[in-house]
Structure 1
Amino acid sequence: MPGARHSILRTLPTSASRLAKHAWPPVLFFVVVVSAWEWAARAGFLDPMVLPAPGEIAANVVDGLSSGLYIINLQVTLMQAISGFLIACALGVAMGSLTTLSERLSRALQPIVLALEATPKIALAPLIIVWFGYGMGSKVALSAVIGFFPVFISTVSGLRSVDPGRMDVLRALGARRWQIFKMVALPGALPHIFAGINIAVVLALLGTIVGEFMGAKEGLGTLILYANGNLDTARVFSILLVLAATGLTLHALVDFTRARLLFWDDADTAIPTGPGT
């Protein structure tokens, strides 16, 4: 144990230096851009109605958080987004697994899935509002619809990319289809599935905001509409900043979960480009 402790302590400076080496270029770029933006806004080169100063945006963030306004509405948005995200993950993995296990079901569903995938999901928002009303249900449904397809497609792709030789070994040993799926196919597909989940968690948040734009009494999307109606551009930017931080946090949580479950897979977990919404 002492040897292992000393080994970990020796690696800490190396890890810190590696992190600093990769972090300073984007940090420096961010500082330069924000400083130039602030100077241009203060010097009068930028119209505050179009592009307010970063200091004014930061002041709105502090005011919204300290007053509790952003926290209360963020809780509403997060509850709806996470509910839709969990539904999307459950349905995406289940449907992807079923269509992979059953060739007949796959052929039957393929035209429908392709047609729905080609449809911009946000265009379904008015219909979903009509079906589910202006309450929480419509926001959850829209976020689930938008988040479903990345999980579904990644599940199908992952299950079809599993090494067939490993499954043949289990078949030769007399394993049933469900046992092969549980022991080989699903674990082998998990890296692909998490890639789709990484996309879905951000799209679910997007779907919730769009649903709130269509009609809601609470949520960050509603605050954006109110601020935009009052021509308060700085507040709109501040809410967008909170949403960006929320999206990054959700992505980090998915990455953390992935690292815990798939410790044996060291593939890059950056957010991939998802299908159009």
Structure 2
Amino acid sequence: MGYRTILAVAPIIVLAALWELLKALTSTEDARLPHTWQVLSYFASEGSTGEGELRLLLTNLGTTIQEAFVGLAIGIVAGGALGILTARYATFGRSIRPLLVLTQTLPVVAIAPALIIWLGHSWVSKAVLAALCSFFPIAVSVARGIEDIPAEARRVFASFGAGRWQVFRSLELPSALTQANAAVHTAAALAVVGAVVAELPAGSTEGMAVLVLSSAQFYNFEPAALWCAAITTAVGGLVTVYLAQAIFTRLAKLALRTSSLPTGDH
């Protein structure tokens, strides 16, 4: 077993051991906290419809991840645009920043039902809420990347006669993308949370939130079902975060290759 494999497996083993230790120390009955092997075995069981639980979980997870990715894409574009505008136009930045903060202080669970009623129960409403949750870290990081550029660097570009567009492409864009790349982890995780929350209102028929709610209703009879849904959601969120990071990094590298330094030709 390689070193990287050990590092990947070790946290899972530690969590399972802590789970069992907590259960033993508190003498918690299986109906309230099942054993880890009971949870794992439930993944291989069949539901009342005859469909395998793992297949059911993965099908609904795919729906949630799709909603999260669409919302994240919208959040990155919207957040990036707002970040650029707030950094380059001081007056606009001072007026819009309180509103941006306000969007993050609103309780997402409270506005989700209204958003669902307005946009309907389709994937659109889920993606919009995911975007609402994920755009803020991108906007803040992009604005910071542009605002933190040293004045000396700007003077160098000015001395070469670089225009505003060239300054943006060759100086501001690389700095903004570097900062945004670090924020994609947070934005992707929030997008998954937003997608799950958007699935909570009554009427949703697909997604991990539907399974979580249905499993919670029968927790006393089959507690492993809820834990399987929670674990699947967490793993799906982890995959979303790392996949989004890889895609963004690749696209950022492609964007930076199109950037060019000023030549000094006037």
TM range (shorter): 0.7 to 0.9
Which of 97, 121, 140 aligns to 1:134? It is 121
3-state DSSP of counterpart to 1:48: coil
1:159 correspondence with 2:146: yes
Which of 24, 44, 47 aligns to 2:29? It is 47
Aligned partner of 1:168 in structure 2 is: 155
Please state how far the C-alpha of 1:28 moved relative to its aligned partner: 5.5
3-state DSSP of counterpart to 1:134: coil
Measured against aligned partners, the alpha-carbon deviations of 1:81-129 in whole angstroms (never above 9, x if no partner) come to 1111111111001111112111222133123223333333333212212
1:33 correspondence with 2:18: yes
Structure 1 gap ranges (5+):
1-15, 264-277
Worse-matched range after superposition: 179-188 or 243-252: 243-252
3-state DSSP of counterpart to 1:49: coil
Aligned partner of 1:74 in structure 2 is: 61
Please state how far the C-alpha of 1:257 moved relative to its aligned partner: 4.3
Whole-angstrom distance in 1 between the partners of 2:187 and 2:207: 20
Q: How high is the sequence identity, in percent, across the aligned residues?
A: 26
Whole-angstrom distance in 2 between the partners of 1:30 and 1:137: 36
Give the CA RMSD over aligned residues. Answer: 2.8
Measured against aligned partners, the alpha-carbon deviations of 1:25-83 in whole angstroms (never above 9, x if no partner) come to 64663353245367x39xx9322232111111111223379552112211211111111
| Kept in 1: contact 2:65–2:240 (CA 8 A) | no
Structure 2 gap ranges (5+):
254-266
Which of 209, 228, 233 aligns to 2:196? It is 209
Worse-matched range after superposition: 180-189 or 159-168: 159-168
Query: Residue 228 of structure 1 aligns to which amino acid in structure 2?
Result: A
Aligned partner of 1:60 in structure 2 is: 42
- Taking structure 1 as the reference length, the TM-score comes to 0.78
Displaced runs of 4 or more, over 4 A: 19-25, 64-67, 257-263
| Kept in 1: contact 2:184–2:245 (CA 8 A) | no
> What pairs up with 1:174-189 in 2 under 5 angstroms?
174-189=161-176
1:243 correspondence with 2:233: yes
Whole-angstrom distance in 2 between the partners of 1:56 and 1:107: 54
- Taking structure 2 as the reference length, the TM-score comes to 0.81
Please state how far the C-alpha of 1:132 moved relative to its aligned partner: 1.0
3-state DSSP of counterpart to 1:236: helix
Please state how far the C-alpha of 1:193 moved relative to its aligned partner: 0.7
| Kept in 1: contact 2:199–2:207 (CA 8 A) | yes
Size of the aligned set, in residue pairs, is: 245
Whole-angstrom distance in 2 between the partners of 1:31 and 1:92: 38
Whole-angstrom distance in 2 between the partners of 1:23 and 1:81: 25
